[in-house]
Amino acid sequence: MLFYCSRHGESVFNAERRVQGQLDIPLSKNGQQQSKALASVLSSEPLDVIVASPLRRAIETAEVIATELHLSLKIDPRLAEINAGIFQGLKWDEIEIRHPNEAARWKSGDPDFMIPKGESRRTLMLRGQAAFEAIRADGHTHVAVIAHGGLLAATFKSLLKIPSSLNPFVFQNGAISRLEWSSTIRLLTLNEQHHLQKAKVDSERTGDL
């Protein structure tokens, strides 16, 4: 089975460098263009279905692909971004001023640090893996998963058995990462961006929340 995993197109909060977590933020104009470029490159792949996070920025991205490819779109709440609690809606310099202790705990990479009024990276890892296991159990062979940077990073760590204290992945808006899951799990590609460069859209903004 082959997963084509993509972080949603750039959102308005991505453009403003704000933490969004589970806030329901729409795509920016650049994000809309990224979604079109993503749909264009995926149109040449033998996809069976698209599965997306329930958050608006992911759904808007996935709907562009579903329309272009004439595929059904499924929503899995487990693919939502981490609940970033008290960080949501703030820029990182604001977080470090208002919540310095919590900001330091988050940046330490502690997988069990639970953001106040939010959740931990370990919780995210568990629900992300559960979502991917459910998708695999549906019996599809080629699936596009449209989700979030934090969710994908946590899920890849869990599936690939990377120590929970490490955080090696950063996902670009609209980029594609391919994960093969047969008898074993292999990461085939990470952050493919040629389709974005060809379409001349910005893919440089990062962040996992």
- Whether residue 180 contacts residue 188, with contact meaning beta carbons closer than 8 Å, is answered with yes
Report the interhelical angle of 56-69 vs 29-42 (nearest 10°).
40
Longest Cα–Cα distance of the chain, Å, equals: 48
- Whether residue 6 contacts residue 177, with contact meaning beta carbons closer than 8 Å, is answered with yes
| 8 is an active site residue | yes
| 81 is an active site residue | yes
Given the residues 8, 99, 148, 195, the one annotated as active site: 8
- Whether residue 129 contacts residue 148, with contact meaning beta carbons closer than 8 Å, is answered with no
Given the residues 81, 99, 148, 195, the one annotated as active site: 81
The CA distance from 104 to 162, in Å, is: 22
Residues marked active site are found at 8, 81
